[in-house]
Amino acid sequence: MATKLFIGSLSWDTTDEKLRDFFAQAGTVVSANVITDKFTGRSKGFGFVEMSSDAEAHAATEQLNGQMLDGRKIVVNEARPMQPRENRPRGGGFSRGGERGYGRRE
């Protein structure tokens, strides 16, 4: 079973390919993804690597945590399952009236 690792403190220059190549030194990499902003395409500074076994994931954590990649000292931890988000309205934007009376004409 493959184990997913969370990789933090990535340089904005790190690509999926660089991440895959870096983690290949610790074992077989199933996938490597740098998370990017959907509007700018710029890296958010973290990503995920999936190793082919628990033993390789443990070895990668021990071997690569705190190592330099693209000029940054990276953080490697086992990824936690994604938590469900609350389905609530988000703030922001312009209010048309509302409690404070913005936009009212008298």
For the segment 21-80, what is each residue's pLDDT rounded down to a tens digit? Answer: 999 999 999 999 999 999 999 999 999 999 999 999 999 999 999 999 999 999 999 999
Residue 19 within a domain: yes
Residue 11 within a domain: yes
Token readout for 76 is 């490697």
Instruction: For residue 72, list its beta bridge partners.
Output: 69
The pLDDT score that the predictor gives to residue 45 is 97
Confidence label for 101 from pLDDT (cuts 50, 70 and 90): low
Q: Write out the residue range of the structural domain in which residue 30 sits.
A: 3-78
Residue 32 within a domain: yes
Overall pTM surpassing 0.85 (yes/no): no
Residue 100 has pLDDT above 90, yes or no: no
| Number of domain units in the chain | 1
Residue 101 within a domain: no
Token readout for 28 is 């077989």
Residue 97 within a domain: no
SS (H, E, C) the chain: CCEEEEEECCCCCCCHHHHHHHHHHHCCEEEEEEEECCCCCCEEEEEEEEECCHHHHHHHHHHHCCCEECCEECEEEECCCCCCCCCCCCCCCCCCECCCCECCCC
Residue 57 within a domain: yes
CA distance 57 to 77: 9
CA distance 23 to 100: 54
| Domain CATH code at residue 53 | 3.30.70.330
The pLDDT score that the predictor gives to residue 99 is 58
The pLDDT score that the predictor gives to residue 85 is 79
